Chains A and B, each alone.
Chain A
Amino acid sequence: MGKRSNEPFLWMLFSAGGVAAALLIPIHLFLFGLAFPLGWLEAPGYDGLLALVRHPVTRLYLFVLCTLGLFHWAHRFRYTLYDGLQIKHLNEIINTLCYGGAILGTVVAAYLILGIA
């Protein structure tokens, strides 16, 4: 039995992140990045939005969306650097920056989303 690779686990995270990103990010970005700032649709008021975000289900939803999105980015960006810039020999640095970045982002997300008063 050869050495166990951890790639399957990372690929699974990438795939889950890809599904979540595909299904949910377009509408989020459309609403908060374009429709509300440009006035195409009426933005929710501060109080309503805060109440929505404080709800435990929303907290979990946003935390999972952010985490999966970050790990999707980490895996895909890692391979883009390998193949696009041909720097696979720097793979230790690249892996640390990508997955480390995702872990850091997850911690920040946890602090902000789960900890919001």
Chain B
Amino acid sequence: MASSIQHPPRPYPPRVSTYWWLGRWPYLKFILREVSSIFVAWFVVLTLLQISALSRGPAEYLGFEVWLRRPVVIALNAVSFFFVVFHAVTWFNLAPKAMVIRLGGKRVPSLLIAAPNYLAWLAASAAVAWIVLRG
């Protein structure tokens, strides 16, 4: 050994790239799922705008309805719809992981816990649609 200097071990520190989430498809899917929360917040804003317009009279509300028909707004709401559906599907598929339900000593498989969630989704959607549409 030429050098008599003691080198302390210099482990190379791990680094995570800023674009780690682009590296693999599961990571990208995860980030898209997380980003869906922005569209949840947008829905709340939209709803509050709608209620504000409602409270200010028929003319205001008509203006709001016209605004809703602008192509940019339709596009935004179409994208939002995709994301909130993505949120719902990923949520119903993953939520059973947190709940361990045992029947007769064996764990109920995730699918059987997810299924009632989907049914509830269908029922809730039907109920809301019926209440809104009957006018």
Contact = CB atoms under 8 A, between A and B. Distances in A.
A100 to B, nearest CB: 13
Interface residues of A, number: 52
B133 interface: yes
A29 B39 CA distance: 10
A37 interface: yes
Interface in B112-135: 120-121, 124-125, 128-129, 131-133, 135
Looking at A18, A27, A29, which has the most chain B CB atoms within 10 Å of its CB? A29
> Which of the four size classes fits the interface of chain B?
35 or more
A60 interface: no
A5 B132 CA distance: 42
Given A44-B135, A62-B51, A22 B31 contact: no
Interface string A37-52: 1100111111011101
Interface in A93-108: 105, 108
**Closest 7 interchain pairs by CB?**
A33-B77, A76-B37, A27-B125, A73-B41, A22-B88, A22-B91, A48-B135
Interface of A: 17-19, 21-34, 36-38, 41-46, 48-50, 52-53, 62, 65-66, 69-70, 72-73, 76-77, 79-80, 84-86, 105, 108-109, 112-113, 116-117
A24 B40 contact: no
Contacts of B43: 21, 25, 28-29, 69
Nearest to A59: B51
B84 A37 contact: no
Interface on chain A toward B: helix, strand, loop, or mixed SS?
helix
A44 B41 contact: no
Contact of A34 (B48, B77, B95, B120): B77
B35 A80 contact: yes
22 contacts: A22-B87, A25-B40, A26-B125, A28-B43, A28-B128, A29-B46, A31-B128, A34-B74, A38-B69, A44-B135, A50-B54, A52-B132, A62-B51, A69-B40, A69-B43, A72-B37, A77-B37, A80-B35, A84-B31, A85-B18, A105-B48, A112-B55
